Amino acid sequence: MIHPTAIVEDGATLGAGCIVHAHAHVTRHCVLGEGVVVHPFAVIGGDPQDLGFDPATPSRVVIGSRTILREHVTVNRATKPGGATTVGSDCFLMTASHLAHDGTLGDRVILANTVLLAGHVTVGERAFLGGGAGVHQFCRIGAGAMLSGLSRITRDIAPFIMAAERDEVIGLNVVGLKRRGLNPAALAELKGAYRAVFAPTGNLRTLAAAALAGGGYTAPEALLFLRFFEGGRRGFIRPRATTEPEASEP
């Protein structure tokens, strides 16, 4: 359903059951999956906020099925020919949140009001970003991570971590892990991996590699956490001196 005064440009692809509310704008560069809802004054597929960008560049925005884009959300298309800014399925982008060019959101990601994601940011599945959080370009936020409101993030956040303030690890998102049904044995392994990386002093990549080589980890969540440190280009946030992995939600 396309409401009166909505703009859906010729060339846009909308799956079955999509709703584009009044005054929303979906450009020709968009591919929307089934059941996507675009609320008033959202702009999806606009040009990147990049002074060097050539508007003739063929790039896209791809939105997964059943994702909800609330009022004034902006999702910019990619900067490279053939590239795409992508949002997974079942995501919820609340009012005035912004996903810049070349960004990627996994499935079931939630961006609270006015979250600002710079270019080339990657967010793993089931992550939650609190209202007003800002994330620097090229940062990675791991699966199941949780950012408090007004966080300022300039480095990578490993999976299942809670972060707050400026680049501070608070602990593991234990409550969130239990809600998604993580069994006690896997949670114990993840806590062990957390301690192996963050308890000593040293290079986090080296510590994670050592844990992978000799730790005997088998739980997928622990392995995902440790392997996250193999990639990235911005370094990693670290915990406060008193952080324990059992920390609860902020």
Q: Which of 45, 88, 103, 119 is labelled catalytic?
A: 119
Q: How far is CA 46 from CA 28, 82, 131, in A?
A: 9, 15, 23
CA dihedral (138, 142, 82, 39) positive or negative: negative
DSSP symbol at 200: S
Contact predicate 159/144, CB 8 Å: yes
Helix (H, G, I), strand (E, B) or coil at 109: coil
Active site residue 101: yes
First CA to last CA across the chain, in angstroms? Answer: 39
Active site residue 102: yes
CA distance 108 to 143: 10
Q: Which of 102, 124, 131, 156 is labelled catalytic?
A: 102
CA distance 174 to 130: 17
Active site residue 3: no
Task: Give me the helix-helix angle, 204-214 and 184-198, nearest 10°.
Answer: 140
Q: Which of 25, 29, 101, 120 is labelled catalytic?
A: 101
CA distance 155 to 135: 8
What's the chain's length in residues?
Answer: 250
Give the Cα-Cα-Cα angle 203, 206, 207 (nearest 5 degrees).
85
Burial environment of residue 52 by CB neighbours within 10 A (0 to 12, 13 to 18, 19 or more): exposed
Token pair in block for residue 242: 């008193």
- The catalytic residue positions are 101-102, 119
